[in-house]
């Protein structure tokens, strides 16, 4: 397939695009990191975003979140062009985005409960009792025991820190969460449990998840689609079953190299034909 190949299947056309990145270019000085990159994220899906180290995954994430300048292209969130919003509208958009930074990035001097309340304090004006109640609900939602609420990050395991950070990302009931390598540093069981939690949130709350990851297990077990960043663009996108058929050398070695799983594409449930090489 070539660039002209439609990247959307008929099924995709029926789905709501929650994030549309179109022809986005980002450069630092004369170093171009992203060159007319396009990507759609659909409501209710878990998108795995992969690419070589230094390819620009964090740069794209930061650009989508409005933390990096872009030199060209457009970013639409919930159908709204982020270049055309007022400051007040930008705040409304930000409230619908949750972010889990790499390494959790909890405030070490705050308890789990206080960490979860940080976005509530920033964006909402609620009585303390209600904030406590909401924070407890989020803590329970991510599978932490109730007594974790009063603990500090230094008292938590790596897996608990990730869950607490996820609870904070969910504090304002976002429509989409951005997870930056959420399972890095977790043992395989902890990582699998975290993946299960993310899948549960998608299934029960209809949460949309944009997950930057190097974790092949996550890509195989919970991601509905995968997008591969290479040569400054989204090089390939589609379900994992499709990734296993792609002959592009980096993609092939990533998904079918020595460290990849030995998987029969026919055994995967998602549709091989729904992917595209750009
Ligand atoms: N603020 C900045 N100023 C200059 N260069 C930057 C800036 N931010 C990122 N870069 C450069 O952009 C490139 C892509 O970096 P980025 O962190 O997005 O890679 P990545 O794909 O997330 O890598 P990794 O998987 O290792 O986290 C790198 O060469 C980096 O040095």
pLDDT value for 13:
60
| pLDDT score, position 276 | 73
Closest to 47 (Cα-Cα) out of 191, 243, 252, 250: 243
Contact 116, 161 (CB under 8 A): no
Structural domain contains residue 276: no
Count of CB atoms within 10 A of residue 69's CB?
10
Assigned domain for 127 exists:
yes
Domain assignment present for 123: yes
Burial of residue 126 (CB within 10 Å: 0-12, 13-18, 19+) is middle
- Structural domain contains residue 119: yes
In a domain, 241, yes or no: no
Look at residue 272 in the predicted model and tell me its pLDDT. Answer: 57
The verdict on the CB of residue 67 being under 6 Å from ligand 1 is no
Q: What is the pTM of this model?
A: 0.88
Residue 128 covered by a domain: yes
| Residue 138 counted as domain residue | yes
Q: pLDDT for 231-272, tens place per residue?
A: 999 999 999 999 999 999 999 999 888 766 655 555 555 555
Note the ipTM here.
Answer: 0.97
Provide the number of structural domains found in the chain: 1
- Ligand 1 contacts CB of residue 55 (under 6 A): yes
- Per-residue burial over 77-94, b = 16 or more CB atoms within 10 Å of its CB, e = otherwise: bbeeebeeeeeeeeeeeb
Question: Which domain covers residue 141, as residue numbers?
Answer: 111-169
pLDDT on residue 203:
94
Is position 84 within any domain?
no
Tokens 């405030």 correspond to 107
Distance 241 CA to ligand 1 centre (A): 29
**Which residues of the chain have a pLDDT value below 50?**
1-10
Residue having the nearest C-alpha atom to atom 27 of ligand 1: 53
Closest C-alpha among 216, 218, 221, 275 to residue 248? 275
């Amino acid at each position: 397939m070539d660039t002209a190949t439609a990247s959307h299947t008929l099924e995709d056309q029926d789905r709501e695009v929650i994030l549309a990145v179109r022809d986005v270019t980002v450069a630092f000085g004369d170093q171009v990191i992203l060159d007319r990159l396009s990507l759609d994220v659909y409501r209710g899906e878990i998108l795995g975003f992969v690419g070589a180290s230094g390819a620009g995954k964090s740069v794209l994430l930061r650009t989508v979140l409005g933390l990096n300048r872009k030199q060209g292209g457009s970013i639409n969130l919930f159908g709204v062009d982020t270049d055309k919003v007022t400051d007040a509208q930008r705040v409304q958009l930000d409230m619908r985005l949750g972010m889990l930074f790499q390494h959790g990035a909890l405030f070490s001097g705050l308890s789990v409960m206080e960490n979860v309340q940080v976005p509530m304090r920033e964006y909402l004006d609620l009585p303390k009792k209600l904030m406590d109640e909401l924070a407890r609900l989020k803590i329970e939602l991510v599978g932490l025991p109730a007594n974790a609420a009063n603990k500090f990050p230094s008292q938590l395991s790596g897996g608990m820190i990730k869950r607490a950070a996820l609870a904070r990302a969910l504090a304002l009931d976002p429509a989409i969460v951005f997870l930056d390598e959420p399972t890095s540093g977790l043992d395989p069981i902890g990582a699998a449990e975290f993946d299960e939690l993310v899948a549960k949130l998608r299934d029960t709350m209809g949460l949309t998840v944009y997950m930057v990851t190097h974790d092949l297990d996550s890509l195989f077990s919970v991601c509905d689609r995968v997008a591969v960043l290479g040569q400054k663009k989204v090089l390939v996108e589609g379900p994992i079953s499709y990734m296993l058929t792609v002959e592009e050398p980096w993609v092939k070695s990533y998904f079918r190299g020595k460290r990849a799983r030995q998987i029969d594409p026919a055994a995967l449930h998602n549709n091989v034909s729904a992917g595209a090489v750009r």
